[in-house]
A and B are shown apart, each in its own frame.
Chain A
Amino acid sequence: MKGTGVSPGISIGNAFILKKSVVVSSGRTVESEEEIIEQISDFDKAVVAAADEVKKIISDNKGTFKQEDIAILETQIEFIGDTQIMSDVHDKIRNERRTAIDSVTDAVGSMVHLFRNMDDAYLRARTTDIQDAGNRIIKHLLKRDDAPAHEYSENSIIIAEDITPTEAITLDPRKIAGIVTLEGSRTSHAAIIARSRVIPAVAGCSEELMNINNNDTVIIDGSTGDVIVDPDPETLNLFAEKKKVYDEHSKLLKSLRETPAITRDGRKISIFGNISVPDDIDQLDENGGEGVGLLRTEILFMMSDSFPSEEKQYQFYRQIASKSGDKPVIIRTLDIGGDKQLPYFKIPEEQNPFMGYRAIRISLDKKDVFMTQIKAILRASVSGNLKIMLPMICKIDEVREAKKLIGDAKTELDNAGKKYNPEIELGIMIEIPSAAMMVDLLSAEVDFFSIGTNDLCQYAMAVDRMNNKVSSLYDHFNPGLLRLINTIIEQAHIHNRKVGMCGEMASDPLATMILLGMGLDEFSMSPPSIPEIKKIIRDNTLVRAREVWNKVKTLDSSDKIREYLQETLK
């Protein structure tokens, strides 16, 4: 059986079926005026009692609950006392003469129906909260005692149609090995809580799930979404082994999180992450990233129906800046064109889009779009340590023109009385061979460089990486490309500029020693790759890395280079 992995990790445990008590509508008609008043009053009391119950869960656990748990429960109180539901229920009792329980079932049911059909995934996921609120009110109407404490034993895997936020928060994480649900998604509260408690969880399984019996042996993989019931011994062994590897890896990850990337002989390397949205910062922190080496701003532009306003961009950058604190955040200005398009800014079809109208070329042509982005970044720069980076520079005039526009943007902000960091650093991407070969000249105009290996490799080798017929030629161990990268770093250092790398190569463990040997100052990659690269840096010395690079220089093909690197990594 397969669902969606919503909280990573592997668990092997015993099924515990969490049953929902189903309330069937009585269909009874309320006869007298007295009974109407009684039903309404019972309902009002049940709402207060249900809200009080949640308030008590909060106050009983003030010390142990995380801030986000409390926030979820506080929203739950609002769902319980929702005035729309209350007036719907009052209306049903009085005018349709339905019982309080039937009215709650109906009113909650139609709200659930409304939310279930919404376009927005976040709002769809709220159906569970609404249902949870309704169930809690009904429980008090039935004057049922609190459900008996869950009698699950150690190492239980909870199997349920859905887990409500209050259930998830009150589950004992020491006994729960995993959670599997028929419904739910990554954004349901249950998934969020499972992740914060580090309990593997799978959601969105097929109906088969409900055939599992209590105490069946169940394996779940919260990364892939696999759920296996009554595994044969072979499968059990396989997953026990997988679990060991996973647990060891996450232990390593945890131990590396706070340690800096320093070689054994003391060279400090910056390990940064490539991100797109403010939420990515959490993942970056989890993996021990020390800053943002590349904030792709395309996603912000793709999320909008038209070019985002200065205010909207400002809020976006400001959030990332303040979430990052002192850590540097390198913001790359809009890099569209090539394979990236915006729905509201059609670029006419080109013979050769990767060599066409894209990135800085668009920015310098559509100056108003560029100015809006620069002003938004500048304003956000007082909230953190922001830097600006220009993509696709091929000649020095482009840098000079962009700098003039940045100067104009500063003047505009001065005139408007808006604050910004006047010392904000400016860097450029090195991804076009002409720029790579004049880093010495470019150093006079910029504060730092970042090598974009994906484009640099395709331009240096004349390989369209989107074309299947030639994409196998694309290879960042090509000796010519390695020499080009070495030249960039060498020239930048001669002119006292730091060099980072934000392309795929920075996350390739096979390339780490070469780049370290060349003297690369900063590696930036997708956050999950960080621990592995950090470990290679910490396990080696700069002296050894230089030896590796010197040896690589003598090899004449990427096959030989790969073979040699694989040997050295062993």
Chain B
Amino acid sequence: MIKREYTIIDPLGMHARPATALLKLGRNFKSAVSLEKNGKSVPVKSMLNILALTLKFGDIVTVVIEGEDETEASVVIENFFMEEMKHF
């Protein structure tokens, strides 16, 4: 299991467009990916669950990845939160 923390760097927070991109990324891996904030955890499978987590600009999100390809998945997801989130 890989567990990392990221800061939400998009001033609009985790809105529908980045959530869509994250869902697409998640489908490329066999590992289960989930997001946690304030003790609440949601799988990266449902747009509505991700939005309902209300990740705002500056919030810290914990990403948990578990499965056979978790190492590759963690690299891609790290890039998503550190780089891609700059461009939505």
Contacts and interface: CB of A to CB of B under 8 A. Distances in A.
Interface of A: 71, 74-75, 77-79, 82-85, 111, 114-115, 118-120, 122-123, 126, 129-130, 277-279, 303-304, 308-309, 311-312, 315-316, 318-319, 322
A84 B46 contact: yes
A277 B48 contact: no
Chain B: interface residue count, which band?
20 to 34
Main secondary structure of the interface of B (DSSP, over half): mixed
A303 B11 CA distance: 10
Contact of B47 (A82, A114, A122, A277): A82
Interface string B10-49: 0111011101100100000000000000000001011111
A318 B47 CA distance: 28
Contacts of A75: 16-17, 19-20, 47
Contacts of B79: none
A1 B21 CA distance: 41
Contacts of A308: 58
B73 to A, nearest CB: 18
Contacts of B7: 309, 311-312, 315
Interface string B39-81: 0000101111101101011100000000000000000000000
Given A115-B52, A311-B7, A129 B46 contact: no
Given A82-B46, A279-B11, 14 more contacts: A78-B23, A79-B48, A84-B48, A84-B49, A85-B46, A111-B48, A115-B48, A115-B51, A122-B13, A122-B15, A123-B51, A303-B57, A316-B11, A318-B86
A71 B88 CA distance: 10
Interface of B: 7, 9, 11-13, 15-17, 19-20, 23, 43, 45-49, 51-52, 54, 56-58, 86
A312 B58 contact: yes
Contacts of A111: 48
Nearest to B88: A71
28 contacts: A71-B17, A71-B20, A75-B17, A75-B19, A78-B16, A79-B47, A83-B45, A83-B46, A84-B49, A111-B48, A118-B52, A119-B54, A120-B56, A122-B12, A122-B13, A122-B15, A123-B51, A126-B16, A126-B51, A130-B48, A311-B9, A312-B7, A312-B9, A312-B58, A315-B9, A315-B11, A316-B11, A319-B11
B64 to A, nearest CB: 17
A78 B86 contact: no
B39 to A, nearest CB: 18
Max chain B C-beta neighbours (<10 A), residue from A115, A122, A303:
A122
B23 to A, nearest CB: 6
B66 to A, nearest CB: 18
Chain A contact residues: helix, strand, loop or mixed: helix
A182 to B, nearest CB: 22
Contacts of A118: 52, 54
A85 B51 CA distance: 14
A469 B76 CA distance: 62
B61 to A, nearest CB: 14
Nearest to B15: A122
Contacts of A311: 7, 9
Which of B13, B19, B20, B48 has its CB near the most chain A CB atoms (within 10 A)?
Answer: B48
Nearest to B23: A78
Given A84-B46, A114-B52, A312-B57, A74 B15 contact: no
Contacts of B11: 277-279, 315-316, 319
Contacts of B9: 311-312, 315
A264 B62 CA distance: 59
Contact of B48 (A82, A119, A318): A82
Contacts of A126: 16, 51
Nearest to A78: B47
A311 B9 CA distance: 9
Nearest to A77: B20
Given A74-B20, A312-B7, A123 B48 contact: no
Nearest to B85: A315
A79 B58 CA distance: 25
A74 B17 CA distance: 8
A228 to B, nearest CB: 34
B16 A315 contact: no
Contacts of B19: 75, 78
A130 B48 CA distance: 9
B41 to A, nearest CB: 14
Nearest to B11: A278
Contacts of A84: 45-46, 48-49
Contacts of B45: 83-84
Contacts of B51: 115, 123, 126
A318 B7 CA distance: 15
B55 to A, nearest CB: 10
Contact of B54 (A71, A79, A123): A123
B54 to A, nearest CB: 6
A85 B54 CA distance: 18
Contacts of B54: 118-120, 123
